[in-house]
């Protein structure tokens, strides 16, 4: 029989066993003594670019109060730079962040029509598409054929082409009408 104290002790033991050990993050670059090649090409500020024995390269970095960082391990001999390692990592992160911010984020907005969408609804959705294209987003127009409406494929294609023609001054077709299963779609990209 367990008393209240015994139950708490069992729960505490389970919680301790369930913890995970923190995983060490593997470093991208080998530095200083972790470089295990006999000869390296050394580059850096205030350093003569040359091929050095690993011991001489480490001594040179130590005399300058900096780290020896292996930049290109695939080269023959491997290329190492004498630099402050923390500053080097900071610059790498800064470059990656800059590259990421320069990449364009493409947003695709979706508009759904039916094969027998009337004129008012068509114009209403057309206004939304114009707004999306002016914002710089792509527009994907879908026509969903439910049940027996699949018989009106030509009517759906005409509706999509009419939609693209109405948006001609705002965007250009990136993909012409294409039927996939019970859905016909077309993509419009904004004009620059």
Q: Which of 8-17, 44-53, 122-131 has the highest mean pLDDT?
A: 122-131
d(CA 92, CA 88): 6
Q: What is the pLDDT of residues 137-171, one digit of tens each?
A: 889 989 888 888 777 788 888 888 888 888 888 88
- pLDDT value of residue 72: 83
Which of 76, 99, 122 is a domain's end point?
A: 99
Q: Quick check: 15 pLDDT over 80?
A: no
Q: Which of 51, 106, 107 is nearest to 76 (CA)?
A: 51
| Beta bridge pairs of residue 83 | 67
pLDDT in tens, 84-114: 888 888 888 998 888 887 776 778 888 888 8
Predicted local confidence at residue 21, as pLDDT: 53
Question: Within a domain: residue 27?
Answer: no
CATH of the domain at 55: 3.10.20.80
Report residue 5's pLDDT band, with 50, 70 and 90 as the boundaries: low
> In the β-sheet with 183-190, what is the strand arrangement from edge to edge?
108-113, 138-144, 183-190, 171-180
Note whether 112 and 185 are same-domain residues: yes
Q: Clarify whether residues 115 and 179 are in a common domain.
A: yes
Domain housing 81? 32-99
pLDDT value, residue 26: 52
Q: Which residues pair with 144 in a beta bridge?
A: 183
Residue 89 and residue 152 share a domain: no
The tally of domains found in the chain comes to 2
Boundary residue ending a domain (44, 77, 99): 99
Region 127-145: mean pLDDT is 89
Query: Is residue 20, in this structure, part of any structural domain at all?
Result: no
Give the chain's mean pLDDT. 80
Predicted confidence at residue 2, as pLDDT, reads 53
Query: For residue 182, is it within any domain?
Result: yes
| Helical axes 119-134 vs 153-166, angle rounded to 10° | 50
Strand partners, 143: 113, 184
């Amino acid at each position: 029989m367990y008393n209240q104290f015994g139950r708490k002790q069992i729960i505490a033991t389970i919680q301790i066993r369930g913890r995970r050990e923190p995983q060490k993050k593997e470093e991208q670059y080998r530095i200083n003594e972790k470089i295990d090649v006999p000869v390296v090409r050394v580059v850096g500020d205030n350093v003569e670019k040359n091929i050095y024995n690993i011991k001489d390269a480490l001594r040179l970095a130590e005399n300058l109060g900096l780290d020896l960082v292996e930049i290109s391990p695939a080269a023959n001999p491997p290329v190492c730079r004498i630099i402050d390692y923390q500053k080097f990592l900071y610059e790498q992160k800064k470059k990656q962040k800059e590259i990421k911010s320069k990449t364009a984020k493409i947003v695709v907005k979706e508009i759904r029509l039916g094969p027998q969408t009337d004129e008012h609804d068509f114009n209403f959705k057309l206004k939304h598409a114009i707004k999306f294209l002016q914002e710089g987003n792509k527009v994907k127009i879908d026509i969903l054929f439910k049940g027996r409406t699949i018989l009106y494929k030509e009517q759906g294609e005409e509706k999509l082409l009419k939609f693209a023609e109405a948006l001609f001054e705002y965007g250009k077709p990136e993909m012409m009408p294409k039927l996939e299963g019970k859905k016909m779609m077309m993509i419009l990209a904004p004009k620059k």
